[in-house]
Amino acid sequence: VLRPGTPKEKKLMATAYLLHYGLPQFFFHVTTAYAILRHSGVEIGKRDYMGAY
């Protein structure tokens, strides 16, 4: 349940929550941390972010 007890309360199934809320939040924070590290001069590249194939 998102925002329980408010007029905008929304109930989601676990898969909907994960796909529409959880993963976008996770990737936003990972990308932001990557950008902050790059801005701070840390030598980190695409392979560090994407992982090895």
Summarize pLDDT for 3-46 with one digit per residue, the tens: 878 888 888 899 998 998 899 999 999 889 989 999 999 988 77
> Where do the domains of the chain lie?
1-42+44-48
pTM of the model: 0.66
Q: How many other β-carbons are positioned within 10 Å of the β-carbon of residue 37?
A: 14
Which H or E run includes 27?
helix 23-39
Assign 3-state DSSP to the chain and report helix, strand, coil percentages, each to 5: 60, 5, 40
Q: Rounded CA gap, 29 and 24, in Å?
A: 9
Helices and strands per DSSP (H, E), number in the chain: 3, 0
Q: Rounded CA gap, 43 and 41, in Å?
A: 6
